[in-house]
Structure formats: C-alpha cells, structure tokens
Amino acid sequence: MSKIKNYIKEYFGYKFKYYMMNSYLVKELEFEDVILEDIEEITMFSSLTYLNVSGTEIQNIEPLKKLRNLQVLFADFCKITDLSPLSKLCELRELDLSAPLDYGTRGRFICHAQE
C-alpha cells in the first residue's frame, strides 16, 4: 500500500473501505505535516472541495487540476514551483501558499524570483 493510502486509511479509520468505494462522498482531506511527495492518488476523490497539504514535501501539483470542485487549497510550506495547474480550478476561492520570510534560507522554496 502506498504512503498516501496508508495515511488515508489512518485518516478515515474504520470507514476507510466505505470511503474508498464511495470516494465521491469525500469533500475534505487534511494532510498537514505529512511527508508526501506524490499526490496523484488524491484525485480519486473527485468531489473534494477542501484540501490541506501544508507542510508536505510535494512539488508537483499537476494532479490537482483534476479536482474541478476544489474551492479551498492550503499548500503553505511546500516545495511548489509551478502554479499553472491551478488555472484549471475554476471553483478555487481560497488559496494559501505562504511561508515565513526565512523559509527559503533553509533550502526550501515555494517560488524562485527571477531578476
């Protein structure tokens, strides 16, 4: 079982099988401070309206473009450098990509500014 599926199993507890078979019922997921590098499997929950991946190790948010109902995305303290997949999320109303000013000095960046 993948790392993300293990976390989803822990997140849902005894209802894991039910939600995996009825993934359209899942509207919110919290992955804050979970070490994740790939979020492709999250897209099975196509009805998500809220997703928190803050503090994860994700860089590639390309899979999120499949979550057409996503309204709220918290992705602060991640390693995201390409925000273009978010342009496909027409329902997105709230977005947090923040990090403290000294965050980049510790070797982790959200975006690289070009001079």
Whole-number Å distance between alpha carbons of 48 and 24: 8
Pairing of strands 50-52, 94-96: unpaired
Residue 80, CA atoms < 13 Å, CB-side half-sphere = 26
Which fold, 3-98?
3.80.10
Whole-number Å distance between alpha carbons of 18 and 38: 23
Parse the chain into domains and list their residue ranges: 3-98
Give φ, ψ of 74 to 5 degrees. Answer: -105, 115
What are the structure tokens assigned to 58, written together? 């994700």
Per-residue pLDDT tens over the stretch 25-78: 999 999 888 888 788 999 999 999 999 999 887 889 999 999 999 999 999 988
Q: What is the pTM of this model?
A: 0.81
